[in-house]
Amino acid sequence: MESESQQPSTGGDLPLLPARMVNEFAYCPRLAYFEWVDGEFADNAETMEGRFHHRRVDQAPARKPRQGDERKSEETTIHQRSVWLSSERLGVTAKIDLVEGEGPTVVPVDYKRGKRPHTPQGAWEPERVQLCVQGLLLREQGFVCERGVLYFVASRERVEVPFDEELVARTHELLHDMRAMAGATVAPPPLVDSPKCPRCSLVGLCLPDEVGWLREPHEGEAPALRKLVPGNDDALPLHVQTPGARLSKDGECLKVKDHDAVIGEARLIETSQVVLYGSVQASTQVIQELCKRNIPLVYCSSGGWFYGITIGLPHKHIDLRRRQYAVAADSERCLVLARRFVQAKIANCRTLLRRNHRAAPETIIIDLKRDQVQAGAVNSLETLLGIEGTAARRYFSEFAGMLKEAEPCARFDFDGRNRRPPRDPVNAMLSLLYSILAREWTVTLHSVGLDPYLGFYHQPRYGRPALALDMMEEFRPLIADSAVLTAINNGEIRQSDWFERMGSVTLTPDGRRRLIETYERRMGQDITHPVFGYQISYRRVLEVQARLLGRYLLGEIPEFPAFITR
């Protein structure tokens, strides 16, 4: 069944406000903005439980009149579920769980999943306001409606809510304020240290503590911010690379079949994205289900080259993309962001060398520090590109010093970066993981509403995800390079995992699989966030950085915080 927020406008500049959104606005204006204006939504245990308790209301048919009951309409008993009403005059719409009444006098009943709160009114203001909107809509239809009922499923209690003048006035006030908010281009500020935030399903999108702390300049260490609790942080990518394999749907599971044999499966609820390599097919049922669940379906060549992506409807936050386009057209603001990207990349390369090199030359460490400082003071993208290239040459000139030959006689020689095609195993692994990381950032930027093809440092070029390349700069050494070092130094990649042909080196399917496994372990590794101080996985860090970039572009925070590990 279509949700209230999906209903089209029947007139005016703004669509009708759903009663449920008035509830959200009374609870938290920022939450209402994300759900109503931006079209953002995320499930948690409470929202899923609420849908479960509403299943009878949403699915039960209307009661049929009793046989032989021929009383006049004004004397008829009313007991109707899922009643959808709208009013152009009020500018609202609502799906009422249950309407009860006798003749012209009716009572709306709204189902709530929890227990009755112990408050003087018997319910919190958001629930009472939502119920009042339903009562006003019934009055618009000519019914007499002086009260409503909230039914709390957990405690099985009915709480009567009178529609007095004070509640009606408060409801009209909230409707007016919400219409004004819906016309704004920036979300209301987050609540400050509110107990509502940890229980909110959108806390990972809103970032209340993070945005609140970044809005004001601070010196020194960050305070003890509350840790993010994403709704589905256990979801992982499903990689399918067996040539000729088929991906099908079986209930709530995805199954990978090679001819008639099932060679792998994954639960949909535990899947963050599906990546197909080479000649792997997916059924129409799989594609439709992934689109419905906003799970990206990614297509790559058998060697890992990123071809494209299938996703559901594009993100609704058009104003975020407008801000992105405006900043991309401003050379000064582009330079500010580009300097941050490059400085963070150089700093993280320097840290990786200091942590993993057997004996990193002090001159290289000092030179990289100088490159980092110079990158923050350049006055053109061209100069910045030159400094980044110089720093990369310094870094890769010492990359071999971080490698161990875990397998005797394995040829992990490395003498600088080369590609297209890579001429040694290390470069082949780096190229593959850089391609995977670029794809990861493309998917993440799509999911938060940004255009991955319009960057600030990497300039637009047909077919190049410039913003994804921008955002991955600071994570190249931390994720891709680190995964390559782990795979080689721990003996996970052996000499038998690649072959040479016409001067180029290619990983075997088995070697590629093990390298991807190493990469995914790195993405799932918990680290201490260098800005906010809590434990978080690299997979989650990417989304946080993407959302913080959006907050910066919209003007919610004064600076974009680079991710520089310690």
pLDDT band at 455, cuts 50/70/90?
A: very high
DSSP of 127-153: HHHHHHHHHHHHHHTT-B--EEEEEET
**Amino acid (one-letter) located at 229:** V
Fold of 4-62+73-182: Lambda Exonuclease; Chain A (3.90.320)
Residue of 137 and 416 predicted with greater confidence: 137
Provide CATH 3.90.320 ranges for the chain: 4-62+73-182
Q: Which residues of 439-468 are buried (b: 16+ CB within 10 A; e: fewer)?
A: bbbbbbbbbbbbbbbbbbbbeeeeeebbbb
In the predicted structure, residue 148 carries a pLDDT above the cut 80: yes
Provide CATH 3.100.10.20 ranges for the chain: 241-310
pLDDT band at 1, cuts 50/70/90?
A: very low
CATH architecture type of domain 318-553 = Up-down Bundle (1.20)
Question: Minimum mean pLDDT among 61-70, 128-137, 267-276, 494-503: which range?
Answer: 61-70
What pLDDT digit, counting tens, does each position of 188-244 carry? 888 888 888 877 878 877 888 888 888 876 665 656 677 665 544 567 888 888 888
Of 415, 408, 364, nearest to 390 by C-alpha is 364
What pLDDT digit, counting tens, does each position of 540-557 carry? 899 999 999 999 999 999
In the predicted structure, residue 405 carries a pLDDT above the cut 70: no
Report strand pairing: 246-250 vs 281-282.
parallel
Mean pLDDT of 429-444: 91
Question: Phi and psi of 256, rounded to 5°?
Answer: -100, 125
In the predicted structure, residue 64 carries a pLDDT above the cut 50: no
How far separated are the first and last CA of the chain, in Å rounded? 49
Provide CATH 1.20.120.920 ranges for the chain: 318-553
What pLDDT digit, counting tens, does each position of 3-43 carry? 444 443 334 456 888 999 999 999 999 988 888 887 776 55
pLDDT at 9 (0 to 100):
39
CA angle 528, 451, 444 (to 5 degrees): 35
In the predicted structure, residue 404 carries a pLDDT above the cut 90: no
pLDDT band at 160, cuts 50/70/90?
A: very high
pTM for the full model?
0.79
Q: Does domain 241-310 have CATH number 3.40.50.2300?
A: no
**Percent of the chain surpassing pLDDT 90:** 38
Q: Please, which contacts does 165-169 make with residues 24 or more away whose CB atoms are closer than 8 Å?
A: 167/128, 167/129, 167/132, 168/132, 168/136
